[in-house]
A and B are shown apart, each in its own frame.
Chain A
Amino acid sequence: MMICAPVGVSAPKPAAVGYRARKVRCAVAAAPAGIGPATLYDVLGLRAGATLREIKAAYRRLAQERHPDVAGAPAAGDFVTLHDAYATLSDPDRRARYDRDSVVAMARAPPGGPPRWYTARRPRRTWETDQCW
């Protein structure tokens, strides 16, 4: 979203609506850049700024599709992923930490850098432990 903002400012005319929208789509598409969804927001099919209500609604909707009671036992893995994403994003503290960490990861990742799972999954270094005390 932050990347998009300046683009929106520079866009002048009615045509800009289409332009802006296209740009956003690009930004989202750039993030995963690999197999499967990259962020927890993608798991829930949401944008990064989604409200708590949207998160809950998306979780419920997807749970009704992916819960093994509905989709059969092999779907258990899917549901666990979904629930983990929901558990993180529905807790304000954990969501804030996750958002901060993923922004840091995005900023740090050199273009075409490490594989996606590396940035998304592994615990990040934190500011304290990076220092040489």
Chain B
Amino acid sequence: MSPCLLQHFEAHRSHALRAPAASRRFPTLRERLRLVGVRAACRVRGTSRPLRKDPPAFPPPPSSRLNLPLLPPPTTALSSPPASCSKKRASHGRGRMSEQVYIVASDSETTGEDKSQLSFPNVAIGIDIGTSNCSVAVWTGHQVELLENTRNQKGMRSYVMFKDDTLSAGVTGGATQEHGHEERDILSGSAIFNMKRLIGRMDTDEVVQASKSLPFLVQTLGIGVRPFIAALVNNMWRYTTPEEVLSIFLLELKTLVEMHLKHPVRNAVLTIPVAFSRFQQTRIERACAMVGLHVLRLMPEPTAVALLYAQQQQQLLHDNMGSGMEKIALIFNMGAGYCDAAVAATAGGVSQIRALSGSTVGGEDILQNVMRHLLPDFDSLYVDQTMDRIKSMGLLRMATQDAIHKLASQQHVEINVDLGAGHKVSKILGRGEFETVNQSIFEKCEGIIKQCLADAKLGPEDINDVILVGGCSRIPKIRSVVLSLCKKEDSYCDMDPLEAAVSGAALEGAIASGVTDPSGCLDLLTIQATPMNLGIHADGGSFVAIIPRNTAVPARRDMLFTTTHDNQTEALIVVNEGEGNQAEENHLLGYFKITGIPAAGKGAVEINVCMDIDAANILRVFAGVVKPHGQAVPPFIEVRMPTLDDGHAWCGQALAKMYGSTLDLTVLPKKLHP
């Protein structure tokens, strides 16, 4: 589906979902985005001062020229008909709005002074949206440069603040208002964060369940639909979705980049966790489409790091310091929300991902474990979210966060925090105690690395470099767990753990945009691998993998199936993704039916199911009858996955209930005599 269609679809959807409320008092997404757009536009003017500090890189925009296009009379933007009036007009309206904002980059401003950035107007930017922090980088012609926000931060807090009718994201941190947001404000219930953990998840998901202890509202019904999340605005919970929050954030981010580069940005490469399902990937793509960003590639985070490593190795070779031999790197990335590992074999600028594995453990789990340890009646205390409970939970969260950070460098930390209402935490937390509390998390990390090495069929002695990235790689125990598993003294040190992933994404952005570099810096290739098994439901509820995990992408595999009943004329193809042996343990991607199978005894018909992943990581499933063949057989069906939009859990149950095994298939045993 083209971004255009998606936008239109989204317009349609948000209209359908929220029309009654929207027309009365709450702004729709489009209106909100428009507000952000206007604010962003105003901000360009307002923030020209901090930019002036570094004239060589970003000369201050000539304000006389910017004023005109950038300041649409606020009435035009705000008084244009709300989205609910006309879907078509709404989507056009947004296009117009964008133009008003993006006009920052009119051609008349492309003077010679900032050639380095303007020579690549179509180069895709690299974005790393983290659970807790986010950064953006771009290829400037000779190197990757991380962009800073107006507070001179490269890593920006990932959150969106809902206040009255204005929205602001962590990119600017509310810097343009009277006072910036502090951690206290972010934890007040008015801001939504951790959207990367919530996006594309059902309310039965344990990650969503664990998110209920966040200061904003996460409501679940446990039936397998998207959770209800809401932010506190004027003492009222206002509904939103993770996609919406993410798109508001991305819009601010995009505006920031356009301000720096002085040209519109269309394409982006984003990093995602290995554990992201294909459905979650579509949510990220949709959030990007909503702000007019075309996703060129979604890169698993450790593979972005692998690309940066490949470039550094290539550089060493150019400088006659490298050997040119194949080097095997184990990359371990752990942030606030996810943890993943990859084994990459690198030589001559080609980086082949041998194995990938990931899980949803991260710093957030460590934080919650420690909070529960400090305050044993945490769950009973914070079961309902009244204003003072939220405030008190925020205080505990900040104190715990601070303590965990300090424990990275010291052996003991003293925690003294008054939570109000007679609750108080005063404790000295030792590093040993901290490690005991989080034992299960460190074990999971171990499991991920062991699985990754086993899948790559390599032992610790084969690893040349161990690369540790992500915020949690600062925790001494995590470092020692990874290094001891790989039998290494120390980790690879030529990379900034917080900037590696986004730099890799920006490199990929430049390569995928077709930029070439005369010095050979961009002669790089990553051969990606599939992080999860892809297969179908067969043999009465089993999961049959057609493309096993860690298959090189692009990939195309097929398998023969046959009917399970005599005269079975229809078969249901249920496509799943995951690691479980039973189909129901895995993530449902979609389903379709093959009809018109010639009537025959069971096992006589041959049905071919073929899965194809192209270089852009798009999955297509082809299925049809191959034996008997001829005119009497219906044509093959081609389906792009995922097809499912919501309700994965109850959908699978409904299919099982309705059809049971009547439309089942079974694997055709491989013939020994061709």
What is the bound-complex CA distance between A87 and B555, given in angstroms? 12
Binary A-proximity of B174-205 (CB < 8 A = 1, otherwise 0): 00000000000000000000000000000000
Across the two chains, which residue of chain B brings its CB closest to A67?
B525
Which of A56, A68, A87, A129 is B672 in contact with, Cβ under 8 Å? A129
Q: Is the CB of A80 within 8 A of B527?
A: no
Stretch among A17-25, A41-49, A69-77, A96-104 lining the B interface: A69-77
Which of B511, B672, B673 is A69 in contact with, Cβ under 8 Å? B511
Q: Is the CB of A76 within 8 A of B614?
A: yes
Q: Which of A104-133 contact B (CB under 8 A)?
A: 122-123, 125, 129
Asked if A51 is an interface residue, CB under 8 A from chain B, the answer is no
Q: Is the CB of A125 within 8 A of B673?
A: yes
With A56-B326, A80-B555 given, is the CB distance from A64 to B615 under 8 Å?
no
Across the two chains, which residue of chain B brings its CB closest to A86?
B552
With A69-B511, A80-B556, A87-B552 given, is the CB distance from A64 to B614 under 8 Å?
no
Which of A57, A61, A80, A125 is B554 in contact with, Cβ under 8 Å? A80
Asked if A83 is an interface residue, CB under 8 A from chain B, the answer is yes
Asked if A38 is an interface residue, CB under 8 A from chain B, the answer is no
Asked if B580 is an interface residue, CB under 8 A from chain A, the answer is no
Q: Which of B307-357 contact A (CB under 8 A)?
A: 326, 347-350, 352
Write the nearest CB–CB distance from A69 to chain B, whole angstroms: 6
Write the nearest CB–CB distance from B393 to chain A, whole angstroms: 47
Size category of the binding interface on chain B:
20 to 34
- In the complex, chain A residues whose CB is within 8 Å of the CB of B525: 63-64, 67, 69-70
What is the bound-complex CA distance between A70 and B348, given in angstroms? 15
Tally chain A residues at the interface, Cβ within 8 Å: 22
- In the complex, chain B residues whose CB is within 8 Å of the CB of A87: 552
Asked if A95 is an interface residue, CB under 8 A from chain B, the answer is no
Across the two chains, which residue of chain B brings its CB closest to A76?
B554
Q: Is the CB of A56 within 8 A of B614?
A: no
Q: Is the CB of B350 within 8 A of A60?
A: yes
Which of A60, A73, A122 is B348 in contact with, Cβ under 8 Å? A60
What is the bound-complex CA distance between A20 and B386, given in angstroms? 90
Across the two chains, which residue of chain B brings its CB closest to A91?
B457
Across the two chains, which residue of chain B brings its CB closest to A126?
B672
Asked if B674 is an interface residue, CB under 8 A from chain A, the answer is yes
Q: For chain A, what secondary structure do more than half of its interface residues adopt (helix, strand, loop), or is it mixed?
A: helix
- In the complex, chain A residues whose CB is within 8 Å of the CB of B673: 125, 129
Binary A-proximity of B283-322 (CB < 8 A = 1, otherwise 0): 0000000000000000000000000000000000000000
Which of A57, A60, A76, A122 is B615 in contact with, Cβ under 8 Å? A76
- In the complex, chain B residues whose CB is within 8 Å of the CB of A79: 554
Q: Is the CB of A69 within 8 A of B615?
A: yes
Binary A-proximity of B519-542 (CB < 8 A = 1, otherwise 0): 000010111000000000000000
What is the bound-complex CA distance between A69 and B350, given in angstroms? 12
What is the bound-complex CA distance between A80 and B614, given in angstroms? 10
Binary A-proximity of B468-484 (CB < 8 A = 1, otherwise 0): 00000000000000000
Q: Is the CB of B615 within 8 A of A67?
A: yes
Q: Is the CB of A123 within 8 A of B674?
A: yes
Asked if B512 is an interface residue, CB under 8 A from chain A, the answer is yes
Write the nearest CB–CB distance from B402 to chain A, whole angstroms: 44
Across the two chains, which residue of chain A brings its CB closest to B552?
A83
With A80-B556, A87-B552, A125-B672 given, is the CB distance from A63 to B527 under 8 Å?
yes
- In the complex, chain B residues whose CB is within 8 Å of the CB of A123: 670, 672, 674
Across the two chains, which residue of chain A brings its CB closest to B670?
A123
- In the complex, chain A residues whose CB is within 8 Å of the CB of B352: 63
- In the complex, chain A residues whose CB is within 8 Å of the CB of B326: 56
Which of A57, A73, A129 is B614 in contact with, Cβ under 8 Å? A73
- In the complex, chain A residues whose CB is within 8 Å of the CB of B527: 63, 67, 83
With A56-B326, A122-B674, A125-B673 given, is the CB distance from A68 to B554 under 8 Å?
yes
What is the bound-complex CA distance between A70 and B352, given in angstroms? 15
- In the complex, chain A residues whose CB is within 8 Å of the CB of B556: 76-77, 80
Across the two chains, which residue of chain A brings its CB closest to B511?
A69
- In the complex, chain A residues whose CB is within 8 Å of the CB of B552: 83, 87
What is the bound-complex CA distance between A73 and B556, given in angstroms? 13
Across the two chains, which residue of chain A brings its CB closest to B325?
A53
Write the nearest CB–CB distance from A84 to chain B, whole angstroms: 9
- In the complex, chain B residues whose CB is within 8 Å of the CB of A56: 326, 347
What is the bound-complex CA distance between A57 and B352, given in angstroms? 12
- B interface residues, Cβ below 8 angstroms from A: 326, 347-350, 352, 457, 511-512, 523, 525-527, 552, 554-556, 614-616, 670, 672-674
User: Can you list 30 A-B pairs with a CB-CB distance of less than 8 A?
Assistant: A56-B326, A57-B347, A57-B348, A60-B347, A61-B348, A63-B352, A64-B348, A64-B349, A64-B525, A68-B554, A69-B511, A69-B512, A69-B615, A70-B525, A73-B614, A73-B615, A73-B616, A76-B554, A80-B554, A80-B555, A80-B556, A83-B527, A91-B457, A122-B674, A123-B670, A123-B672, A123-B674, A125-B672, A129-B672, A129-B673
Other A-B pairs, 14, CB within 8 Å; known A56-B347, A83-B527? A63-B350, A63-B525, A64-B348, A64-B349, A67-B615, A68-B615, A69-B511, A69-B615, A73-B615, A73-B616, A76-B615, A91-B457, A122-B674, A123-B674
Nearest 10 A/B pairs, CB to CB: A68-B615, A122-B674, A76-B554, A60-B350, A83-B552, A129-B672, A60-B348, A80-B556, A64-B525, A67-B525
